[in-house]
Amino acid sequence: MLSRCSTRSRFLYQANSIFQRNGSTLVIAEHDNEKLTPVTLNAITAAKKLGDVSCLVAGTQCAKVAEEISKVDGVQKVLLADNEAFKGFLPESLTPLLLATQKQFNFSHILAGATAFGKNLIPRVAAKLDVSPISDIIGIKSEDTFIRTIYAGNAVQTVKSNDTVKLVSVRGTAFEAAGTEGGSAATENAPTAEINNSISEFVGQELSKSDRPELTSAGIVISGGRGMKNGDNFKLLYDLADNMKAAVGASRAAVDAGFVPNDMQIGQTGKIVAPDLYIAVGISGAIQHLAGMKDSKVIVAINKDPDAPIFQVSDYGLVQDLFKAIPEMTEMTKK
């Protein structure tokens, strides 16, 4: 089975890059002022293929994050912009900083992870620089040619950018995470920009709390769909997930039915995951859901409908009632 996994490598598209690395790349770090968001490490790996890597850490009292990122393998320079104005990481405040930074350093590429943060910010900066951005890349062919998916992952597009600066968001699951040790980047202050944002204001946020691993970087993901019938039944999945050290996700059907909060949604319009093991429970396998998980290394489907499309992509399929199968699995995986 392991040999099958390697032949189906999701790193297929980025193999053998022999192009010259003569650019200088800026990675916009994503963080919460305390810790780096893991996707930044994947973006740094992508950036390393393009040239020297600098990282911009912008936030409020975020020196700790700058220190963390200065140790990341492959990062040459950290630019720190600590300012109350960056509260809530609003794109209206960050864009002037990015423009000032670009003006001073003239990067060939500006990258961020393709998360809610990166997707929100990159296109706005691109518009101000008058370039056409490239979203959610899964591979880099050369310094101007990138690979991305379209139509919910049902086609793979290779696109060449003719812009002088490339603004790119990076799909985290398509690139390995850079090592968090071994780097010794110098930290300097980012160029000062006049941040005078009177048009938007961060009010507050409500984050779902969980002790389980973060969905997009978890090694094992267990997801429930409409077949879970209600929100209470998700406890069955949480119990199994705890035994397997897994994160729990959901299909859009489960989210729309109100079983679980929508930040658990996996799919074209939710999160994209590619764990080592994905267990789909009571999920039929609509195109939009497959877009979010079909690059998982091993897929297991548990569904009582033998004709569910999910079985066409699963490595191991079990046709059984989930309400019988999941408690049994939980029992068997008990330590």
Contacts to another protein from residues 18-77, by CB under 8 A: none
Residue 235 neighbours by CB distance under 10 Å: 10
State yes or no: residue 177 binds another protein (CB under 8 A). Answer: no
Identify residues 229-258 at the interface with another protein (CB under 8 A): 244, 252, 255-256
x/- contact string, 300-329, with another protein (CB under 8 A)? x-x--------xxxxxxxxxx----x--xx
Q: How far is the CB of 281 from another protein (least distance, A)?
A: 12
Q: Annotation-wise, does 231 bind a ligand?
A: no
DSSP labels, 308-320? -GGGGT-SEEEES
Q: Annotation-wise, does 251 bind a ligand?
A: yes
Candidates 15, 18, 186, 207: give the one binding another protein (CB under 8 A). 207
Q: How far is the CB of 247 from another protein (least distance, A)?
A: 13
Give the nearer residue to another protein in terms of CB position, either 235 or 245: 245
Residues 6+ apart with CB under 8 A from 66: 57, 78, 80, 187
Identify residues 281-300 at the interface with another protein (CB under 8 A): 287-288, 294, 298-300
Residues 6+ apart with CB under 8 A from 151: none
Q: How far is the CB of 327 from another protein (least distance, A)?
A: 9
Is the CA virtual torsion 245, 251, 254, 256 positive or negative? positive
Identify residues 183-202 at the interface with another protein (CB under 8 A): 198-202
User: Number of residues in contact with another protein, rule: CB under 8 A?
Assistant: 93
Candidates 83, 100, 159, 212: give the one binding another protein (CB under 8 A). 159
Candidates 61, 128, 176, 188: give the one binding another protein (CB under 8 A). 128
Q: What angle do CA 30, 177, 169 make, to 5 degrees?
A: 50
Can you tell me the distance from the alpha carbon of 17 to that of 13, in angstroms, rounded to the nearest whole number? 10
Give the nearer residue to another protein in terms of CB position, either 51 or 118: 118
State yes or no: residue 203 binds another protein (CB under 8 A). Answer: yes
Can you tell me the distance from the alpha carbon of 133 to that of 135, in angstroms, rounded to the nearest whole number? 6
State yes or no: residue 204 binds another protein (CB under 8 A). Answer: yes
Strand-pair category, 186-189 with 166-170: unpaired
Is the CA virtual torsion 212, 213, 219, 221 positive or negative? positive
